[in-house]
Amino acid sequence: MHKTPLLDQLESGPFPSFVKDLKRMAAKKPQVNDLLGQLERSYKEKITHWKHGGIVGVLGYGSGIIGRYSDLPDEFPGLEHFHTMRINQPSGWYYTSQALRELCDIWDEHGSGVLNMHGATGDLIFLGTRTEELEPCFEKLTAKGWDIGGSGSAMRSPSCCLGMSRCEWSCYDTMEACYQLTQEFQFDLHRPSYPYKYKLKFSGCPNDCVAAVARADMSMIGVWKDDIKIDQAAVQAYAGGELKPEGGATVYDKLDIKADVTDLCPTLCMSWDGKTLKIDNANCNHCMHCINMMPKALKPGNERGCTILLGSHAPILEGAQMSWVIVPFMKMEEPFDELKDLTYKITEWWAEHGKNRERVGELIMRMGMRAFLEAVELPPVPQSVRTPRANPFFFWHQSDFDAEAAGRKYYTTK
Amino acid sequence: MAERITDIGPPHFSKFLPPVIKENYGKWAYHEILEPGVLKHVSESGAEIYSVRVASPRLITTMFARELCDIADKFCGGHLRFTSRHNVEFLVSDKAQLEPLKAELASRGLPKGGTGHSITNIVHTQGWVHCHTPAIDASGIVKSVMDDLIDYFGTHSLPAQVRISLACCLNMCGAVHCSDIAICGVHRTPPKVQHEKLRHLCEIPTTIASCPTGAIRPHPDKTLKSVTVNVERCMYCGNCYTMCPAMPCFDEEKGGVALLVGGKVSNAKSAPMFSRLAVPYIPNNPPRWPEVVETIRKMLIKYTEGANKYERVGEWIERIGWEKFFEICDIPFTYQHIDDYKFQAYDTYRTSMHFKF
């Protein structure tokens, strides 16, 4: 076993220790011993010892495997090849022990036994195997009903919150939508043919537990259009302290409905006279605060669906963006054809105009929102902006003049 | 080869749901958090499911995963799931199993918590254990910060939830840019061009095009078939290295940690916010990065002291003003804090008299 005096210091403490866990595995697998040895070296030298990528994969796929090679293969021969396999996770990250053990059996046989539950995009990540193990490992996975996920300039494995499976706030079936879109885009997921990555995330409500607004090129966030449902008796129970704020998520024993709910409402569309909670629903902006505070008294309305937002990505390259509203409301019912069609329209326009490694949000900044909206046949709507422009530098197209001549006030795609 | 199976996608989730979830799918009425880490969901039919959330290092082995399976078999009919922040949830359909499960988790040293107004698990990246571009390690810093903040994991003692994320370089696989507290690995040296390697490994036009600030030019000596870097324009993003392995920008001494604060993704009360730079640089100090741990704790304590009920970190700072945040947390304000990158910069400059001394 390699000596790891620096890493050994991460064995103690109350949070579960990855070093302790890896050491157990190192006793069985020489490559994990080498992994600890090389990591110790990085801790000493404050620098990585992994070489730049490398193209490896399974037959017929261009994604899902990330090549990884050590720059110290003589010292750590177990790390000569140490590739990553991304396994497309099930919606909501639900497993049975039987399924998870089967995955462990496959990975113990064909790889290092080291994994991430889960990766940043959502996949289950197998960390560390040799090139010749990739195809046999893939064969075992598919035989058990698993497939590998996306990487590179491809559709990435879509991911979702657990939605209606265990949450009363979910405004559509996130897990089914995620599953069906994943199935629909299998070709684009496994054969990179986009300008760059394209991520889909499905959140059931504006609390956005999977960070769709920040981490997905296309963000489907659940929302309702009608009135918040109120159980006035339960509101009284919160006011009286019989029910705890946020279902018990806080140290505060009792909800002060005026101070904690109605005064914190961002649109001040609520009032509380000590007996009845009133909501001016036409002016509610669906922030979720009041519902979060009183989960037993308030619920999203009945007319449910999602808002589609587009364009978020981390700072590389033009600076971080959050997704912005392009469709304020879409019904989300199986088989989700409207969403599939829109996704195809967007990815086709982006594939045609995008530069190498340009995210869709960056392309829209370069080409302009109008070019995008016209191409994907979406009308301009005020929900998509925080404020209209402050400058007078707007364009007029022949289509606007034609609309004017035809007696229509504005040109729209609809 | 004819029988090769491809493009089947993931298994349908219905295979993995506990019966009580299948029966009550879409019919949940409300939830309660009975204690930190223990959720109770109640259906319109009155059916109940309990979820017990525990911490996981995310970087695990099959031995750890098999232990989770053993626990799930013993108390949950084999049902478990993982959360969007890499916690594990044991799904208990039989209430009588709740206390024995909690005892088992305690005996195995798996901390329970991560719900409500807590600090839940840190979303993070690979770091030195498996990535080719990191400025810092990931798992080691996460372990050190969570060891220090473990009391906040297992209690609901904060004014609101605090979400910490870590990305080991500017690529931000961890997408930490909307977190209450973001730990981000930063390089601080321009790429060192390896001319002999570059001519064999890299395409010059794509290498030049990869630079967001236009700092890379063809090398004036055409026989070299390489590039030069205008170091004054380089902000060390490493994007050229992604395109061209002959341009590493690592430095053993100059790489380190930046801390950003005040981001959120939820729409509750205020709109989602980006995290903003609090500390531009803390040196790498493995194995436990004490300066990073200490700075995060310091900011967290000032937040718990200063924030109103239900106020997220970013909402607290917006209310008191950033100038007060720097004063209260005793963090120096530097040239690095003032944005000068592209179209977002101007939006951050103060154009009013609404500031404090």
ipTM entry: 0.96
Question: Could you tell me if B57 lies within 8 Å of chain A, comparing CB atoms?
Answer: yes
B288 alpha carbon, distance to own chain's centre: 18
- Is the separation of the CB atoms in B62 and A113 below 8 Å? yes
Q: In what helix (H) or strand (E) does residue A159 lie, and over which residues does it extend?
A: strand A159-160
Evaluate if residue A291 carries a pLDDT over 70: yes
Element (H, E) at A222: strand A218-224
Alpha carbons B215 and A317: distance in angstroms, whole number: 14
Mapping DSSP to helix (H, G, I), strand (E, B) and coil, where does residue A215 land? Answer: helix
DSSP B264: B
Question: CB contact, 8 Å: B82 with chain A?
Answer: yes
Quote the tokens at residue B110.
């798996």
pLDDT band with cut points at 50, 70 and 90 for residue A53: confident
B178 touches chain A (CB under 8 A): yes
Distance, in Å, from the CA atom of B128 to the CA atom of B168, rounded to the nearest integer, reads: 9
Give the minimum alpha-carbon distance from B73 to chain A in angstroms, rounded to a whole number.
Answer: 7
Q: Tell me where in chain A the CATH 3.30.70.2500 domain(s) lie.
A: 5-143
Whether B45 and chain A come into contact, CB under 8 Å, resolves to no
Q: Inform me whether the pLDDT recorded for A144 exceeds 90.
A: yes
Please give the average per-residue pLDDT across A320-340, as a whole number: 97
- Rounded distance, CA B184 to CA B296, Å? 13
Q: State which amino acid sits at residue A194.
A: Y
- Within 8 A of A249 by CB-CB distance, chain B residues are 33, 115-117, 156, 161
Q: Helix A174-184 vs helix A337-353: angle between axes, to the nearest 10 degrees?
A: 50
Across the range A106-129, mean pLDDT stands at 97
**What confidence tens digit (pLDDT) does each residue in B146-197 have?**
999 999 999 999 999 999 999 999 888 767 899 999 999 999 999 999 999 9
CA atoms of A302 and A300, how far apart (whole Å): 7
> Is A332:A173 a contact under the CB 8 Å cutoff?
yes
Q: What is the mean pLDDT of residues B253-271?
A: 97
Question: Hey, is the C-beta of B140 within 8 angstroms of any chain A C-beta?
Answer: yes
> Residues near A173 by Cβ (< 8 Å), separated by ≥ 6?
A163, A164, A332, A334, B26
Task: Write down the pLDDT at residue A344.
Answer: 98
Q: What angle do CA A184, A190, A192 make, to 5 degrees?
A: 110
pLDDT-derived band of residue B2, with 50, 70 and 90 as boundaries? low
Q: Beta-carbon neighbour count of residue B44 at 10 Å?
A: 12
Residue B181: phi, psi to the nearest 5? -135, 125
B200 in A contact zone (CB under 8 Å): no
B55, A322: Cβ pair inside 8 Å?
Answer: no
Find, in chain B, the residue whose alpha carbon is nearest to that of A250: B156
Inform me whether the pLDDT recorded for B3 exceeds 90. Answer: no
In CATH, the number for domain A5-143 is 3.30.70.2500
Domain A229-299, second-level architecture: 2-Layer Sandwich (3.30)
Confidence label for A407 from pLDDT (cuts 50, 70 and 90): confident
**Helix or strand run (H / E) with residue B278:** strand B276-283
Nearest Cα to Cα of residue A183 among A218, A132, A147: A147
Q: What is the pLDDT of residue B170?
A: 87
Q: Is the pLDDT of residue A413 over 70?
A: no
Show Cβ contacts of residue B167 under 8 Å, excluding neighbours closer than 6 positions.
A314, B124, B125, B173, B174, B175, B176, B182, B183, B184, B185
Locate B39 and state its tokens: 């959720």
Strands A94-96 vs B79-82: parallel, antiparallel or unpaired: antiparallel
- What are B95's two structure tokens? 């209430």
> What pLDDT, on a 0 to 100 scale, did the predictor assign at position B1?
53
Average pLDDT value for residue range B247-258: 91
Kindly identify which residue of chain A lies nearest to residue B159, measuring between CA atoms.
Answer: A250
Answer yes or no: is pLDDT of B336 > 90. Answer: yes
B-chain residues within 8 Å CB-CB of A10? 140, 143-144, 287-288
Compute the 3-state secondary structure of chain A and give helix, strand, coil in percent, each to the nearest 5.
40, 15, 50
SS3 assignment, position B314: helix
Tell me which chain B residues have a C-beta less than 8 angstroms from the C-beta of A252: 309
Contacts of B287 in chain A (CB under 8 A): 6-7, 9-10, 43
Q: Establish if B19 touches chain A: CB-CB under 8 angstroms.
A: no
Give the tens place of pLDDT for each residue, A159-186. 999 999 999 999 999 999 999 999 999 9
Q: Compute the distance between CA of residue A381 and CA of residue A370 in angstroms, rounded to an integer.
A: 11
For residue B244, give both structure tokens.
Answer: 């061209």
Residue range(s) of every CATH 3.30.70.20 domain in chain A: 229-299
| Cβ-Cβ contacts under 8 Å, B55 against chain A | 15-16
Pair B226, B195: CB distance under 8 Å: yes
CB-CB under 8 Å, B80 with A13: no
**In whole angstroms, how far apart are CA B62 and each of A102, A325, B245?**
10, 41, 33
CATH of A159-224+305-405, one of 3.30.413.10, 3.30.70.520, 3.40.50.300, 2.30.40.10: 3.30.413.10
- Whether B281 has its CB under 8 Å from any CB of chain A: the answer is no
| Residue range(s) occupied by CATH 3.30.413.10 in chain A | 159-224+305-405
Interchain contact, A97 vs B41, CB within 8 Å: no
Distances (CA, A) of B112 to A46, A94, B51, B119, B226: 33, 19, 11, 12, 55
Task: Give the Cα separation of A17 and A11 in Å (integer).
Answer: 6
CB contact under 8 A, B64 and A21: yes
pLDDT score of A207 more than 80: yes
Predicted pLDDT of residue A3: 98
Give which of B164, B197, B159 is closest to B180, Cα–Cα. Answer: B164
